[in-house]
Structure 1
Amino acid sequence: MMVNLGIHRPALAYSMTTLGAGMMNHIFNFYYVKLFLNQYKITEGAFNQAQVVFMIWNAVNDPLFGYIQDNSKVPWCSKRRQSILYGAPFYALAFLLPWFPWTNYKEGDWLSGMHLMIALCVFDGMLTFVLLAQCALFAEISTRHESRLQLIKYNQVASLLGSSSILFCGLVSDNMEKFSNFQTFTVLVAVLSTACMCYTGIFGISQYEQKESSLERYKSDGSLSWSSVFTLTKQILTQKNFIIFVSMNFFQVLHATFCSNFMMIFADNLIPKDTLPSFVRSIMYGAGFMFPQLLVLISHSMLTKIGYYKVIMYAFYIEVFASVFMLIMGPQRYYVLAIFLTTNMVLVHASFSIFNLPIADIVDADMEKYKRKSPISSMVFGTNALFTKPAQSLAPMLVVAILNKYGYEHLTSKIDQPDPSLFLDLHGAMFYMTCLVPLCIAIAQIIIWTPYSIRSSHITSV
């Protein structure tokens, strides 16, 4: 690996896409649910319909794009950096779709449901195309654990900078209260993100691209066909460690989506505004997205010494103990609740940030087992997404259904005057979801993750 002036250039090139995508993804996931529920006044039925369509598309497009990128002979698909370069502008445009209403929405307007469905599907389609190529680049820049830790290190710095978009967006727009400011900020983010990802598109070269021409690589791998899709997918799914990882990762995506979509809603309802003013809340929300990267950077030596398997397992145990502690403390401990909401989000996103390490090891194991000339990195990442991405739709659907059962829909209505007693039941439901969702998910993950067997890559020199 080439290192000039202390800069690990492949890691820098790789991490620039993380910076650009992070700025957009954090804002998108954090604000879109509240925007469509509270401002566009989408109905629960339309919200769920959009999420179902999104869930299907979200699951299908990852393995589809993964197979195309691994087997296409067209350079802008087959070369990882070119996929990022040409996909970046469209990714940024897709990010802007939700923030500009198509008309002056009224309560129950069917067009708001159509807007949500198209925004989710288009954004995820472009996100998948660009970030699958980046994920494949992670596995293909180097097979050495030390080099991959360098990628993780640079990636977390970039992710830390990218996650600050939540903090600045909250401060500029007063947590979306000043909507015109919010819209202007998202346009600025889209422009900056495109520039960052284009840097990866120019300089992010994998070791396989350095060693051989794209034409030689894809001639040896065969042509596009459904039979080869099924064959490769079957080979991936027969790996025990892949099934374990995907099962655990499904719950992680569910938990991360739950935190990102509802942290603001729960905090706004459970913690009085005079206890936690808007400025402090903006810092709290920003910390929920920024501190995970700091935690991963601090844990860099642990990843080197004990490996990602134990680090991930420790995070699950901490989530269990923290959830039980919060249940015991109760909902009236507002400062403790604010710390718990932030800490839980930090732990979930921090452990999720190192998931590229196990899946890269799975790519290596697949390549060794089937004696491939080059890894099918995009297909492995895409097949993982096939089973985990539906959690991104299930989480908001289930939580919104529960909230509306306890009166949240009436609480945000411009027409109805809600009964004050609704607050008690709704707040109780919110508090128990805040504690029990992390508790149940972490217990399930501990059980699933225990038999995972690739545990020594941190001490094995490849």
Structure 2
Amino acid sequence: MKEKSRMQNGGPVVGIPIDVAYGSLSFFTTVVHNIFLLYHVDMFVSVYKIDKASFWLGEMIFLIWNSLNDPVFGWISDKRYLSSAGNNHQSVQSIVLRRLDALLWTGPMFAVSFLAFWVQWAAPGLQFVICLCLYDGFLTMIDLHHSALLADLAISAKARTKLNSRSSFFSILGSGSVFLSYAVWNKDNLRTFRIFCLVLSLICLVGFGLMTKVLKNIFIQNSDKMVLKESSHERFEPVKSEGRKLASFVREISSQSNFLWFAAMNIIQVFHCHFNSNFFPLFLENLLGDAISPGLGSVLIGISFVAPHINNLYFLSLCRRWGVYSVIRLLFVVKLAISLVMFLAGPNHVWLLCVFIASNRVFTEGTCKLLNLVISDLVDEDFVLHHRHQPVSALMFGTAALLSKPGQTLAPLVGTWLLAKQTGHDIFESGRAAGSIKIQGGLDSAQQEEYKQGCFHLLVYIPVVCAITQLLVWTQFSLRGKRLRIVKAAREGALYSHV
């Protein structure tokens, strides 16, 4: 089926175009997820007083779960589509409706799991593991199916960037919660912050339930009434076992050099994104401290979360003109350049530090927002190379996450270890003594300056190393230019012939 019949046939239902309905789901995810990224580490370290052993053990358990759940959920979702033979034929409509059904129940459960972080109901170590695994499980389901819809609803770069730009617009709105969070975050009295989180959770729960149903109705009415009933049209491969399918898929994906180069770049990107989020409060407190007011700190945090989505609208327009490969390469160069400028300037320029801390997140997160477009292109390449009758979008996104998600867990582990090495102080010990990730007493001026210098080195060295490594890896990625155009033409022609 051609892309036009998927996205453009029929008028919008109750005035809501399908791209707007698709993008609105990003609002309900972003409105709570940014709060999680900013405060969950500080909550367990400074408020619940989790000990170092429990923190590291919890992160290692989370590393295993976080890495495995993406391909497992992707496999469960897409294993029926792996056959390249003609006896496993399904309509694109039935695939899309399955993804929407999954979003219909995982969205509300994601909202409920978010609440479990902010009230202590078990021993810190046990609660840490349970909260992380539950929250990430539902978030993974949402990310997989929402991202897979990007590849299933559209093929051309223009249509995909339109869907992605709608997601960015609604993510901008959802990031508004960050501005308020810094004002209500008080480790000595968490009542207001907990009420705030409850309100956000309710917005997410109700919003996901309503908008997923709306999106489902829009898609059904806009699909030229070509939705096929599974009972009469699904035919599964009778001979090939699931074990053989999985082994075949692993061999196929291992042979795709572009996928492997992307995975190497992506694990570094995921690490850097989560490092910035996890240690943002630490850099604010220790490098800027009393030099900025709480109001300015709130604005700075808010800008750092909102600006990537605003910039993404511009980056997407550049992608339509130059291609996503060139834009990502440019962002790596910019990240390296601003980090080197900050390193040469030193830690004593308060306003330059403010700009760097915010812009570092902007360009790093800006890259992350474009990666779904790259994975969607890899879905196209996999579809063409292995002669599939339907793209295995969720499975490809899940496999990509399997190889990149360890970066999410490594970010707080490597960050806390490097901080201790650079400063000589353990934030777990300082948290028990002072209830804060900031060293608040017991140090003379020379030690305080050493601690500040260590935080500054951590802030600057990480983006420099990440940017250099990513530039070297990204030059090996060849799914661009003429090759990408050939792949897209082949996939569009194959899908049309199947229908």
When normalised by structure 2's length, the TM-score is 0.85
Is the CA contact (8 Å cut-off) linking 1:16 and 1:199 kept in structure 2? no
CA distance in 2, matches of 1:213, 1:28: 40
Q: Tell me the CA shift for residue 365 of structure 1.
A: 1.0
CA distance in 1, matches of 2:277, 2:391: 33
CA distance in 2, matches of 1:132, 1:329: 42
Match of 2:48 in 1: 40
Matched AA of 1:189: L
Match of 1:426 in 2: 451
Which of residues 452, 458, 462 is equivalent to 2:477?
452
Match of 1:363 in 2: 379
CA distance in 2, matches of 1:224, 1:186: 46
Structure 2, gaps ≥5 residues long: 1-6, 82-93, 435-439, 493-499
Q: After superposition, what is the alpha-carbon deviation per residue over 1:183-210, rounded to whole angstroms, capped at 9, x for unaligned?
A: 1111111111123322442214497995
Q: Structure 1 230/196 Cα, relative in aligned 2: closer, same or farther at 3 Å?
A: farther
1:186 aligns with 2:197: yes
1:233 aligns with 2:250: yes
Q: After superposition, what is the alpha-carbon deviation per residue over 1:14-37, rounded to whole angstroms, capped at 9, x for unaligned?
A: 212211111121111111011111
Q: After superposition, what is the alpha-carbon deviation per residue over 1:380-414, rounded to whole angstroms, capped at 9, x for unaligned?
A: 00001111111111110111123344213343333
Match of 2:91 in 1: none
Q: Structure 1 148/76 Cα, relative in aligned 2: closer, same or farther at 3 Å?
A: closer
Matched AA of 1:117: V
Match of 1:96 in 2: 115
CA distance in 1, matches of 2:467, 2:15: 37
Is the CA contact (8 Å cut-off) linking 1:69 and 1:78 kept in structure 2? no
Which of residues 99, 122, 139 is equivalent to 2:151?
139
1:347 aligns with 2:363: yes
CA distance in 2, matches of 1:97, 1:143: 39
Q: Structure 1 295/59 Cα, relative in aligned 2: closer, same or farther at 3 Å?
A: same
User: Bigger CA drift: 89-98 or 433-442?
Assistant: 89-98
Is the CA contact (8 Å cut-off) linking 2:24 and 2:166 kept in structure 1? no
Q: Tell me the CA shift for residue 8 of structure 1.
A: 6.9
Q: Structure 1 154/214 Cα, relative in aligned 2: closer, same or farther at 3 Å?
A: farther
Which of residues 260, 272, 278 is equivalent to 2:289?
272
CA distance in 1, matches of 2:225, 2:301: 40
Which of residues 55, 76, 80 is equivalent to 1:68?
76
Is the CA contact (8 Å cut-off) linking 2:335 and 2:467 kept in structure 1? yes
User: Bigger CA drift: 31-40 or 420-429?
Assistant: 420-429
When normalised by structure 1's length, the TM-score is 0.91
Which of residues 317, 326, 332 is equivalent to 2:342?
326
Which of residues 280, 287, 298 is equivalent to 1:263?
280
Match of 2:461 in 1: 436
Is the CA contact (8 Å cut-off) linking 1:23 and 1:193 kept in structure 2? yes
User: Bigger CA drift: 123-132 or 194-203?
Assistant: 194-203
Q: Tell me the CA shift for residue 339 of structure 1.
A: 0.7
Matched AA of 2:272: H
Is the CA contact (8 Å cut-off) linking 2:12 and 2:18 kept in structure 1? no
Q: Structure 1 156/386 Cα, relative in aligned 2: closer, same or farther at 3 Å?
A: same
Matched AA of 2:460: C
User: Bigger CA drift: 385-394 or 6-15?
Assistant: 6-15
SS of equivalent to 1:41 = coil
1:118 aligns with 2:135: no
How many residue pairs were aligned?
452
CA distance in 2, matches of 1:260, 1:118: 21
Which of residues 236, 259, 264 is equivalent to 1:247?
264
Match of 1:380 in 2: 396
Across the aligned residues of Structure 1 and Structure 2, the Cα RMSD in angstroms comes to 2.6
Q: Structure 1 5/68 Cα, relative in aligned 2: closer, same or farther at 3 Å?
A: closer
Q: Tell me the CA shift for residue 296 of structure 1.
A: 1.1
Matched AA of 1:434: L
Match of 1:411 in 2: 430
Q: Structure 1 78/246 Cα, relative in aligned 2: closer, same or farther at 3 Å?
A: farther
1:16 aligns with 2:24: yes
Is the CA contact (8 Å cut-off) linking 2:63 and 2:406 kept in structure 1? yes
Q: Structure 1 137/199 Cα, relative in aligned 2: closer, same or farther at 3 Å?
A: farther
CA distance in 2, matches of 1:243, 1:250: 11
Q: Tell me the CA shift for residue 42 of structure 1.
A: 1.1
Q: Structure 1 409/20 Cα, relative in aligned 2: closer, same or farther at 3 Å?
A: same
Structure 1, gaps ≥5 residues long: 104-110
Q: Tell me the CA shift for residue 253 of structure 1.
A: 0.1
CA distance in 2, matches of 1:76, 1:95: 28
SS of equivalent to 1:355 = helix
Q: Structure 1 219/297 Cα, relative in aligned 2: closer, same or farther at 3 Å?
A: same
Q: After superposition, what is the alpha-carbon deviation per residue over 1:262-300, rounded to whole angstroms, capped at 9, x for unaligned?
A: 011111111132x21111101100111100011111233
Q: Structure 1 164/208 Cα, relative in aligned 2: closer, same or farther at 3 Å?
A: farther
Tell me which structure has the larger Cα radius of gyration. 2
Match of 2:321 in 1: 305
Q: Tell me the CA shift for residue 425 of structure 1.
A: 2.8
Identity of aligned residues (%): 27
Is the CA contact (8 Å cut-off) linking 1:54 and 1:393 kept in structure 2? yes
User: Bigger CA drift: 211-220 or 321-330?
Assistant: 211-220
